Amino acid sequence: MTRTRATAIGFVAVLLWSLLALFTVGSAPTPPLLLNAVCFSIGGTLGLIWTWRSGGLGQLRTIPWTVYAFGTLGLFGYHALYFSALRLAPAAEAGLIAYLWPLLIVLFSGLLPGEHLRRGHLIGAGLGFAGAALIILGKGTSGFDPAHLPGYGLALLCALTWSGYSVLSRRIGDAPTSSVAVFCIATAIGSLVLHLMFEETVWPLGPLGWAATIGLGLGPVGLAFYVWDIGVKQGDIQMLGTSSYAAPLLSTLILIGVGIAAPTWSLIAATILITGGALVAARASMFAKARE
């Protein structure tokens, strides 16, 4: 597989994650850990079926337990920290801090062997970050409150967890993508245990609620992790990190399209910043490749 194709496959995850907010709204009032358990069960089961059909089940037995532990901690840790952060701090501010992970991926990737962090990547990441901030904060915020600091701290750990997981995945690039199915199943089990300990069981309401929940399991909390794994291991990780800023933009446009959100001037400015940031980062990568 070429690096360009792997990068394109990885970007599919960004498109799927743009549906996360819409499907999450539709799945209410299911509590977060139960939703996590259901969705990862779907994603993990589909992954195991695909692995079985492709004859890769035997491969799973050869993977070191440390790889499974790493992957499970990445998926489970990110979502546990994310949901906890949004319980302890306002969603807009906590969500913005958690969405520092694309910027951190671009910066951390410069530490990988064979990768170089260039000025264009930094400029593109900065523009994308500004655009993401406008999308999340454009409608106004509740103001800073020291009582929310624990939530902000967890949100920062959330961003560090996913960016660290994505970058370090390159260092274990020999692990097959099918191993993600095991990560998902283990994450579902962990989420179910915590749900039984801390949450009240409330299932999705009606056909639309179940459709949204199944959609989450098939896409943003299912296929997205498999294609992202391919992208970060075999593609241009700096381009993927910067292009990830498109997720909040696309998510907002989808919410506007279904009438959940209204367009604002901040959205227009964010569109320009995010698109410009992606173009700057893409130009930096293409220029670097042309010189190699």
pLDDT at residue 97 in the model:
78
> Which amino acid is residue 131, in one-letter code?
G
For the chain, the structural domain boundaries read: 3-291
Backbone φ, ψ for residue 111 (5° rounding)? -90, -10
Mean pLDDT computed over every residue of the chain:
81
Q: How far apart are the C-alpha atoms of 211 and 206, rounded to whole Å?
A: 9
Tokens read off for 169: 């995945």
Residue 174: pLDDT above 70?
no
8 A C-beta contact, residue 105 and residue 163: yes
The predicted pLDDT at position 141 comes to 43
Between 251 and 189, name the one with better pLDDT.
189
pLDDT of residue 144: 47
Residue 56 pLDDT > 80, yes or no? no
Asked if 175 contacts 63 with a C-beta cutoff of 8 angstroms, the reply is yes
Burial tier of 36 (Cβ tally within 10 Å: 0-12, 13-18, 19+): buried
- 5 vs 242 pLDDT, higher one: 5
Number of C-alpha atoms within 13 angstroms, CB side, residue 250?
15
Convert the pLDDT of each residue in 263-285 to its tens digit.
Answer: 777 667 877 787 777 777 767 76
Which pair of structure tokens corresponds to residue 35? 């939703």
pLDDT at 140: 46
Tens of pLDDT, residue by residue over 140-167, are 444 446 777 888 888 889 889 988 888 8
With tokens 């958690």, the residue in question is 98
pLDDT of residue 185: 94
Q: Which single residue is written with the structure tokens 């989808």?
A: 254
Asked if residue 37 lies in contact with residue 188, where contact means CB atoms within 8 angstroms, the answer is yes
pLDDT confidence band for 289 (50 / 70 / 90): low
C-alpha to C-alpha distances, 46 to 153, 185, 214, nearest whole angstrom: 34, 10, 12
Band the pLDDT of 232: cuts 50, 70, 90: confident
Percent of the chain with pLDDT over 70: 86
Is the pLDDT score of 208 beyond 90?
Answer: yes
> How many CB atoms neighbour CB 119 within 10 A?
9
228/208: higher pLDDT: 208
- Angle formed at CA 83 by CA 269 and CA 202, multiple of 5 degrees: 120
Q: In the Cβ-directed half-sphere of 285, how many Cα atoms lie within 13 Å?
A: 25
> What distances in angstroms separate CA 65 from CA 27, 52, 166, 222, one per listed residue?
34, 20, 18, 22
Token pair listed for 115: 């990768």
Is the sign of the CA dihedral 37, 172, 70, 90 positive or negative? Answer: negative
* pLDDT of 219 above 90: yes
Residue 30 has pLDDT above 50, yes or no: yes
Instruction: Please compute the mean of the pLDDT values over residues 5-21 and round it to a whole number.
Output: 89
pLDDT in tens, 58-95: 888 888 888 888 889 888 888 888 877 777 777 666 77
For the cut 50, the answer to whether the pLDDT of residue 242 exceeds it is: yes
**Token pair listed for 250:** 């696309």
Residue position matching structure tokens 């949204």: 212
The pLDDT assigned to 173 comes to 56
**pLDDT at residue 91, rounded to an integer:** 65
pLDDT value at position 27? 85
Q: Which pTM value belongs to this model?
A: 0.76
DSSP-assigned letter for residue 272? H
Say if CB 151 and CB 277 are below 8 A apart: no
